[in-house]
Amino acid sequence: MGERKLLGPEIVQATVDKVNIIRAKLKAAQDRQKSYADVCRKDLEFEVGDRLSPRYIGPYEIVERIGPVAYRIDMPEQLSQVHDGFYISMLRKYISDPSHVLKTPEIELRDDLSYEEQPV
């Protein structure tokens, strides 16, 4: 059948060496991915009271800074079911533009506070 040998310390040492090699390769891969991510990262910081526009809707005002990368926003009543905390990557600084302002036509009110509806 063959001889049996007790190889305990040699097997343990070989396993430890392989684990160290795996850790070193994982560390190198993490460092490489971090360097790629850091190139694309933009350090953003907002102040309380700044006007922001969450992606695709807005603008809304910052109420408070929750943490280093999260802000609480003053949301309108229609969006009360949406959580008011947003991660910084979902926010964009609002740049004022006169074309964003919608002009409403003047409505003539009668004495009894009624008005005539006109199609648009």
Assigned domain for 62 exists: yes
Q: Which domain holds residue 15?
A: 8-41
Q: What is the pLDDT of residues 1-24, one digit of tens each?
A: 556 665 678 888 899 999 999 999
Interval 55-65 mean pLDDT = 75
Residue 73's alpha-carbon distances to 44, 79, 89, 103, 113, in angstroms, are 16, 11, 14, 26, 36
Q: Are residues 30 and 55 in the same domain?
A: no
Whether 58 and 26 map to the same domain: the answer is no
Q: Is residue 1 part of a domain?
A: no
In a domain? residue 77: yes
For residue 69, what pLDDT band results from cuts at 50, 70 and 90?
confident
> Please, where are the H alpha helices in the chain?
8-40
Look at the block and give the residue holding tokens 């003053």: 74
Angle (CA) 53 70 52, round 5°: 15
Same domain as 32, residue 12 = yes
Regarding whether 14 and 34 lie in a shared domain, the answer is yes
Q: How many domains does the chain contain in total?
A: 2
The verdict on residue 37 lying in a domain is: yes
